[in-house]
Every structure is written in structure tokens, then in C-alpha cells.
Amino acid sequence: MTRTVTPRKPRARSQARIDTILDAARVLLASEGVGSLSIYSVADRAGIPPSSVYHFFASVQALLEALTADVHAAFRACLQAPIDIARMRDWRDLSRLVEQRMLDIYEEDAAARQLILAQHGLSEVTQADRQHDLELGKLMHQLFDRHFELPRLPDEVDVFALAMELGDRVYARSMQLHGHITPRMAEEGMRVFDAYLGLYLPPFLARRATA
């Protein structure tokens, strides 16, 4: 008989140490960028021995992947947060609400901007981000489908995931030019997001009666 092994959650003490490590890494990312990150700099910032960091994260890459997962967990939460659909005139209002929530995360979390938008050249982190985008795209598709009667969308293209990636390209450009997401570039990113979705969604979509 084959048993399925369920991964154990870290004990409370271990989880507290992991949180301390990740918080220290976030501070370094926000203040000095990805290039400042090392096991030793994180340990020094967290006030713990480097061996304690190595115990949970074998490399800087593992640290960055954990931080990227945290950022995307925040994005997932913003897609799952309550929505007053009665105030939405059409799907574009829902689109703007979702995109604004994601912009708020970027605004509040400098580490998120460094990981997702900055040009750090770390292919593994970029790949992890794209994989998370596919998951977010499915959640966003479900969100829109919950409230509006969507047309059939192509199976070979992840429309919502690609819309997010295109919006992020604009925000990344703003980071490159200005060091932050300016109000004008935030607006441009949302316009790109809406414009791409508009290639597949008609201007008017009927609302679902059971939303």
C-alpha cells in the first residue's frame, strides 16, 4: 500500500525564525536591492548566526523564491478579497479595482517592486514569477467568470495572466526610469491591462444573476 506523505508545517518556533529571516531579507531588498542580499547580510540584519539562515534557506536563491511566493500570496489575497459587484458598471470597473489592489501592494512593498519589477537578471526568480502569474491568471479568470458571463476564451493563451504581465511591463518601465511607479505610469499600466482584455471581452458583458 502506497502512502501519501503530507508535508509538515514548521513548528511555531521555526516559523518565527523563518519570518525573522524573511523580514530581514525584505528590509535589505527594499533599501539596497537584490545585489545586497547574501546569507551573511541577512543573518547580520536578523541578528542571528548565518548557520541559522542556512538551516532554513540553503542559498540566496531559496530566500528570493520564498519572498516571491510571499508577494504572490498577497496578490492572491487581493483577488479573493470581498467585492461589491453592485457598484461595478461593467467588467472594466472590476478590472480597474483588481489592478488598483495590485498597485497598492507594489506601493506598500518595496521588496515586491524589487523582485517583480526591477531588472535583477535572476532567471530563476523570473521563472517563479511567471509560474505564479499563471496561477493568478486562473484566479482572475474565475473571479471575472463568477460575476460576468464571459465569452469562450482561447485555451492556448492564458489571457488574464498575459494581461497582468503586460501591465507589469509598464510598471517595470516606470521603475527603470523613475525608481518607483508614477501615477501616470500606473494609469498607463491599467490601460494596457484593460486594452489587452478588451481584445477578448466585448464592451458589455451580462452579469451573472447568482454572483
pLDDT in tens, 183-202: 999 999 999 999 999 999 99
pLDDT the model gives residue 210: 62
pLDDT the model gives residue 35: 78
- pLDDT for residue 156 is more than 80: yes
pLDDT the model gives residue 9: 54
Enumerate the β-bridge partners of residue 148.
207
What mean pLDDT is reported for the chain? 88
H-assigned helices in the chain = 12-32, 39-46, 50-56, 60-80, 91-108, 110-112, 123-147, 159-178, 183-198
Higher per-residue confidence, 34 vs 180: 180
- pLDDT for residue 37 is more than 60: yes
Provide the residue ranges of all domains of the chain, joining segments of one domain with +. Answer: 9-58, 65-198
* Range 47-72 average pLDDT: 91
Give me the percent of the chain exceeding a pLDDT of 90.
61
pLDDT tier at 120, thresholds 50, 70, 90: low
Distance between CA atoms of residues 151 and 145, nearest Å: 9
pLDDT the model gives residue 13: 75
- pLDDT for residue 123 is more than 80: no
pLDDT tier at 75, thresholds 50, 70, 90: very high
pLDDT the model gives residue 6: 43
Only one residue has cell 517595470, namely 172
Only one residue has cell 500570496, namely 73
For residues 35, 37, 183 and 123, what is the CA-based torsion angle, rounded to 10 degrees? 70
Tell me which of 1.10.150.120, 3.20.20.140, 1.10.3720.10, 1.10.10.60 is the CATH number of domain 9-58. 1.10.10.60
- pLDDT for residue 132 is more than 50: yes
pLDDT the model gives residue 203: 92
pLDDT the model gives residue 2: 41
| CA dist 110 → 26, 33, 104, 132, 205 (Å) | 8, 9, 11, 19, 36
* Range 94-116 average pLDDT: 92
pLDDT the model gives residue 122: 66
pLDDT the model gives residue 36: 77
| CA dist 66 → 19, 58, 111, 112, 197 (Å) | 11, 12, 12, 12, 30
